[in-house]
Each structure stands twice: as C-alpha cells, then as structure tokens.
Amino acid sequence: MKYRSAFDIIGPVMIGPSSSHTAGAARIGRVARTLFEKQPKKVKISLYGSFASTYKGHGTDLALVAGLLDFDTFDERIPKSLEIAKELGMEVTFQTEKAVPEHPNTVKLNLFDEHNEMEIIGISIGGGTIEITEINSFKLKLSGDPAILVIHRDRFGIISSVTSVLAKNEINIGHMEVARKEKGEMAIMVIEVDQKIEDEVIEELKALCNVTRVIRMVE
C-alpha cells in the first residue's frame, strides 16, 4: 500500500465511524462525481462484500451519496446527504450483491444524466485510502492522487504525444497505466503526476489528434 502522509495511516479528518467504510466511501463518491464531470441525475449503487453487510451501520450509504454531492470527508452535512440528494433531484438506489469481490470493500456506481452514463468500480483499502479499479469496463488503478485521465483512440504515437506535452511543461509522471478493450478502438491513459496540471496544459492535451476527452483529478 502506498502512503502519502501520516494521515493515510491514522485516518482522515472525517464524519462517521469508519475510515474504510465512511471516509473511503465518501472519497469514492467524490472521485466518481469528478469522473462524471457533473452531479448525476440518477445513481444506482451496488455494494459488495463487507460494504454490503455493514453499509447502513457504518454510514457507507450516506458517505457515498455525500461524495457524489461533492462533500468532503469532514462535511457536517454527511448524515443528511440522502435528504439533500432528494431535494436536489438526484435519484439514488442501493442494492447489495452476493458475488464475492476481489476486495471486501467494493462498490459499483452507475451514474446517469439525460445524455450520459458511466460505470465506476471502486474499493476502499484502509485509512480512507481508495482506488478506482474500473471505468466503463476499462481496468485501471486510480488512487485519487493528482492525475489525469486521457481517453483516446488507440493509434500509433498518441502516448508519445501526451507525454511530450507533459515534459514540455515540466510535469513529472509518477505512475502511468494504459488500457484498451480492443486494438485500434478506444483506450485510456491514467497518468499520476507530482503537481497540479494547469488549465492551459489540459487544453493542449485536448487539442491533440485522436484525444477525445481529458479529465483532471485533484483530491
């Protein structure tokens, strides 16, 4: 497990009884909202393993919805997140799954609005630390560190083009993964970096040939 600070070991500042089941869940919800790039109109939340067994007692349901509302782990509105979501017109449904996941604290979120939908799978791995392990069936590893997701057509030279833009702007890559479903089809890069990426760099990446979308992740 990768620790960035002592707070990853002792746990985050938070509302709720469990860093894994509450704070981690809030972070998964918040990252999911960032990936969707807006507050969804409808969310279907499927809980697996320990999440499925204890989600009401540990407030996992409240925390996931709070994250989707863009509340941080210490936001005092977390206990009322379901009510707030209803007031804002966000429809939320929960279901528990019997399938045995690879990690006990696993959740799948299906997000919808009038024109878009996205499926995200996340795990809470302790101390409030999380990983997003799948986006729309793309297998990946996204921890919530400063990162960008580059969605692109699988073409020769696109990885070099993206990394060249980052190098030109003196942005150091800490970790990078590339995934695709089929050769020549859509693919995704997950690039964790050491500093915040400015808007100008994001726009430069978006302008690259065969890049269809760039999402900036900043925790």
Name, in order, each residue with C-beta under 8 angstroms of 57's C-beta and a sequence gap of 6 or more: none
Between CA 20 and CA 23 the distance in angstroms is 6
In the 8-state DSSP scheme, what is residue 24? Answer: H
* Residue range(s) in the chain whose domain bears CATH number 3.30.70.260: 147-217
Range in 28-32, 96-100, 123-127 the model is least confident about: 123-127
Question: Which tokens is 61 given?
Answer: 């349901």
Helices 199-206 + 158-168 axis angle, to 10: 160
Q: For residue range 124-145, list pLDDT tens digits in order.
A: 988 778 999 999 999 988 876 6
Q: How many CA atoms lie within 13 A of 200 on its CB side?
A: 3
Q: For residue range 143-196, list pLDDT tens digits in order.
A: 766 899 999 999 999 999 999 999 999 999 998 999 988 898 999 999 999 888
Q: For residue range 82-96, list pLDDT tens digits in order.
A: 999 999 999 999 999
Pick the residue with more confidence: 119 or 73? 119
- Give the per-residue pLDDT at 218: 64
What is the pTM for the complete model shown?
A: 0.83
Q: For residue range 99-109, list pLDDT tens digits in order.
A: 988 898 999 99
* Residue range(s) in the chain whose domain bears CATH number 3.30.1330.90: 7-142
- Give the per-residue pLDDT at 165: 97
For the chain, give the percent of residues with pLDDT over 90. 68
Q: Tell me which fold the domain 147-217 belongs to.
A: Alpha-Beta Plaits (3.30.70)
- Give the per-residue pLDDT at 6: 43
Domain 7-142 is of which CATH architecture?
A: 2-Layer Sandwich (3.30)
